[in-house]
Chains A and B, each alone.
Chain A
Amino acid sequence: MSTTMIETKTALDGAVNPDVREAPLSSAQITDYDHRQTVGRITADNPKMACREVNVYYSEKHALRQVSLDIGANEVIAFIGPSGCGKSTFLRCLNRMNDTIVSCRITGHIQLDQDNIYDKSIDVVQLRARVGMVFQKPNPFPKSIYENVAYGPRIHGMINGKAELDELVYASLERAGLTKEVEKRMDEPGTSLSGGQQQRLCIARAIAVNPEVILMDEPCSALDPIATAKIEELIDELRENYTIVIVTHSMQQAARVSQRTAYFHLGDLIEVGETDQIFTNPRHKLTEDYITGRFG
């Protein structure tokens, strides 16, 4: 819900310097392939999450270099870039899903509202309840549709009694635009749905715990265009209440659903900006090459 808009800006000022990358680059630097300093404004007016100088290493491999980026409240921000550029890695830092990878090491500072999410006092369980995630491949639990949505509220002890749970489950399905399709088959396994329906079920499952941020890792890459259109429509509606970070391979999708876009290249955050600006007038040479289809 949007009631959690806290004055993060002031809190952040103490912790990290938001203007760290604000210095304008020269046009020569911007057209230089070897220059990997982020172009564009990395800060947001009303930041929900703030990341500063995040580095990720897989064993010896330096997978993400010095990424600093704000994610504004109630905005949809898209991460684009060629495969292996670190956009999914960065996304997974935001709810500490990388913790499950043994060889993975993360440095830097990521803040959700005022909390440093890598602080010892923050439990991942609490963090992941606040930052939900939707994965590339629809992965409903092999349980009934009802149980899929009820699972989160149940483990977090968010509800008292069956009636309240029913209400929450139906409300979540309604918001995911799935009610009409599954109303009569709540007891059937979630895996019996079509791919697009499964993905919307996963979104319903994620919003059932009422997270502040929803991370989406290429949510439409396994879906057909019609199912994709439905999910995109849904993302647009969800923006009212949630902050959404979406990783996508489809530039059209990024252009359609997001307000801001961040372009990653080989572990560097190359350019951030308003989506319109990125797609119509990219400033960095690498961004331009990617957008115009010269790679990827």
Chain B
Amino acid sequence: MNKSDDSAATPPRRDIKTLVNAGLKRRHAAERRFRWYGLTAISLGLTFVVLMFANIIGKGYPAFWQTYIELPITFDAAVIDPTGTRDPETLANADYAALIRASLRGLFPQVEGRRDLRALYGLISSNAPHRLRGEILADPALIGTTQPVQVLASAEVDTLVKGNIDRTLDESLRSISDQEIAWIDRLTADGRLTKRFNTILFSNGDSREPEQAGIRGALMGSFYTLLITFLLSFPIGVATAVYLEEFAPKNRWTDLIEVNINNLAAVPSIVFGLLGLAVFINFFGLPRSAPLVGGLVLSLMTLPVIIIAGRAALTSVPPSIREAALGMGASKLQMVSHHVLPLAMPGMLTGSIIGMARALGESAPLLMIGMVAFIVDVPRGFTDPATVLPVQIYLWADLPERAFVERTSAAIMVLLGFMILMNGLAIVLRKRFERRW
């Protein structure tokens, strides 16, 4: 190259300066604009998150409080134990509802007629007699005395007390009559209504009566299902990842398997439900609605996620560690189990927990295997009929009672709480065991 060529190719220096300066404003503007887009998108997203949480918490919060009515109950020996033997069997089978009815009649002596009386008795939840029976069985000495007892109010009372029934509406449009409102106001004026923390929500299974419905059945169902899922998918997933990454020859077959695993992670979850129905229930004859089958189905769904996360974690372990171990004369399995796996474990755990969190929130495949049934009993094992939290939410969201609306939101809050907990755990694990080399 000669000198004249050079000067022709490069424009004079001053020109570059002005050229750059001319474009500078535009470049900076483009950058500012892009930042502004990002900020807008993030604040829009945050707004919706806040709105969603405010809505759920606002609706669900009242469900954690429940109205109780204090009734002076006379534990009449003639009703509870006419023979006077204090035989536990007699005590257990006594007509405690009669005691409540008597107490209510005592408070409202002016109410007469079958229909009105039935409405009056309807203020109290149908589970109240069980409560009385429990007290008597615990302490038979109460028989013959009169005690103030906090009994659970019916869902209508609770809804009215929480201000969710519009009193100005015409009587025919409300689920509660003027007369009942008058009684409730009386009880409120007498200071007999109290709001207490709703332990029933956490101790009961599902129920047709909103005030007696709880999420314990769904929680236990979710627990058993996830336990099965974890016990199956974690060891199998980790072993598969280790085999594919460290031991399997790289050929057309392993490529095919890899592609298939990646595709499985994207299969709609309801397809796994159909597979579970066909294979586990129809072919192997496992019980329907059982956490065992739910766990198996969710394992199928979670496995690809765990395998992919596991392989990513294994590839991130530097090859120098493998060389060091092999160079020391470690066998391949020793290299993996002593060095590579411990280093990859945090990543694998993180992936697994995120997979489990996804399984916890899954409902579609479980609908297919019958975990959508109305089940009152809290499951006690892997083969008991059960439902899970998201399905419980789905079931309650379908019901018209106002009291179920707030319970739906409360169940969503519990579910979200567990999700945040699990994702938090994943973050903590990642931060804690993150290694640098």
Residue of B nearest to A126 (CB): B329
24 example contacts (A-B, Cβ-Cβ < 8 A) are as follows A95-B327, A100-B323, A100-B326, A102-B250, A125-B330, A129-B329, A132-B327, A132-B328, A135-B323, A139-B323, A140-B324, A141-B321, A141-B324, A142-B343, A142-B435, A142-B437, A151-B328, A152-B329, A155-B329, A155-B330, A191-B436, A191-B437, A202-B324, A206-B328
Q: Which residue of B is nearest A156, CB measured? A: B329
A295 shortest CB reach to chain B, Å: 27
| A128 at interface, CB cutoff 8 A | yes
| Contacting pair A155 B328 (CB below 8 A) | yes
Interface string of B310-353 (1 = CB under 8 A from A): 00000000101111111111110010001100010000000000
Closest to A205 in B: B328
Q: Interface extent on B, as a size class?
A: 20 to 34
Interface residue A41 (Cβ < 8 Å from any Cβ of B):
no
Chain B residues with Cβ under 8 A from A126's Cβ?
329
Question: CB-CB contacts of A113-138 with B at 8 A, as 1s and 0s?
Answer: 00000000000111111001101010
B268 interfacial by beta-carbon distance below 8 Å: no
Residue of B nearest to A100 (CB): B326
| A245 to B: closest C-beta gap in Å | 13
Closest to B251 in A: A102
Q: In the assembly, what is the distance between CA of A65 and CA of B99, in Å?
A: 103
Contact of B325 with A135 in the complex, beta carbons under 8 Å: no
B residues near A (Cβ < 8 Å) are 249-250, 318, 320-331, 334, 338-339, 343, 435-437
Residues of A in contact with B (beta carbons under 8 Å apart): 95, 97, 100, 102, 124-129, 132-133, 135, 137, 139-142, 151-152, 155-156, 191, 202, 205-206, 209
> Do A155 and B324 have beta carbons less than 8 Å apart?
no
Which B residues touch A95, using CB under 8 A? Answer: 327
Chain B residue with the shortest CB-CB distance to A154: B338
Contact B331 A125 (CB under 8 A): yes
Given contacts A126-B329, A135-B320, 8 further A-B contacts (CB under 8 A): A128-B328, A132-B327, A135-B327, A142-B343, A155-B330, A191-B436, A209-B328, A209-B329
Q: Is the CB of A139 within 8 A of B320?
A: yes
Considering the chains assembled together, what is the distance between the CA atoms of A127 and B329 in angstroms?
Answer: 7
Could you say which residues of chain B place their CB within 8 Å of the CB of A191? Answer: 436-437
List of 9 A-B pairs having minimum Cβ-Cβ separation, nearest first: A128-B329, A133-B327, A139-B320, A129-B329, A139-B324, A152-B328, A125-B329, A125-B331, A142-B435
A139 neighbours in B (Cβ, 8 Å): 318, 320-321, 323-324
Which chain A residue shows the least CB distance to B325?
A141
Residues of A contacting B325 with CB < 8 Å?
Answer: 141
In whole angstroms, how far apart are the Cα atoms of A132 and B327 in the complex? 6
Chain B positions within 8 Å of A127 at CB level: 329
